[in-house]
Amino acid sequence: MALNTATDPRTVMTLDAGGTNLKFSAIRSNRLLLDEPLYIPSEAHDLERCLDNITAGFRRVKQLLPQPPAAISFSFPGPADYPAGIVANENNLPAFRGGVALGPMLEDLFGIPVFINNDGDLFAYGEAISGFLPYVNGLLAEAGSPKRYRNLFGITLGTGLGGGIVRDGQLLIGDNSMAGEVWLSRNKLDPSINAEEGASIRAVRRVYAHCAGIAPEEAPEPKLIFDIGMGRAPGHREAALEAFRSLGEAAGDVVAQALTLVDGLAVIGGGISAAAPLFMPALMKAVNGVYERDGNPLRRLIATAFNIDDPAEREIFLKGQARTLTVPRSGRSIQYDPLQRVAVGLARLDTSQAVALGAYAFALSKL
pLDDT above 90: residue 324: yes
Mean pLDDT score, 38-43: 92
What percentage of the chain exceeds 70 in pLDDT? 99
Mean pLDDT score, 38-57: 93
Question: Does 63 or 93 have the greater pLDDT score?
Answer: 63
Q: For 190-199, what is each residue's pLDDT tens digit?
A: 999 999 999 9
Specify the pLDDT at position 2: 62
Q: For 65-112, what is each residue's pLDDT tens digit?
A: 999 999 999 998 777 899 999 988 777 778 888 899 999 999 999 999
| Residue 142 identity (one-letter amino acid) | E
Note the pTM of the prediction, 2 decimals.
0.92
Mean pLDDT score, 268-277: 96
pLDDT above 70: residue 253: yes
DSSP-derived letter for residue 194 is: B
- Long-range Cβ contact pairs of 309-312 (< 8 A, separation 24 or more): 309/276, 309/280, 309/345, 309/346
* CB 238, CB 227: distance < 8 Å: no
Select from 3.90.226.10, 3.30.420.40, 3.10.450.200, 3.40.470.10 the CATH code of 11-117: 3.30.420.40
pLDDT above 70: residue 63: yes
* CB 153, CB 259: distance < 8 Å: yes
CA–CA separation, 54 and 43 (whole Å): 10
Mean pLDDT score, 234-249: 98
Mean pLDDT score, 24-47: 92
Q: For 163-182, what is each residue's pLDDT tens digit?
A: 999 999 899 999 988 899 99
CA–CA separation, 210 and 244 (whole Å): 13
pLDDT above 90: residue 343: yes
- CATH architecture for residues 132-348: 2-Layer Sandwich (3.30)
What residues does CATH 3.30.420.40 cover in the chain? Answer: 11-117, 132-348
Q: How confident is the model at residue 331 (pLDDT cuts 50, 70, 90)?
A: confident
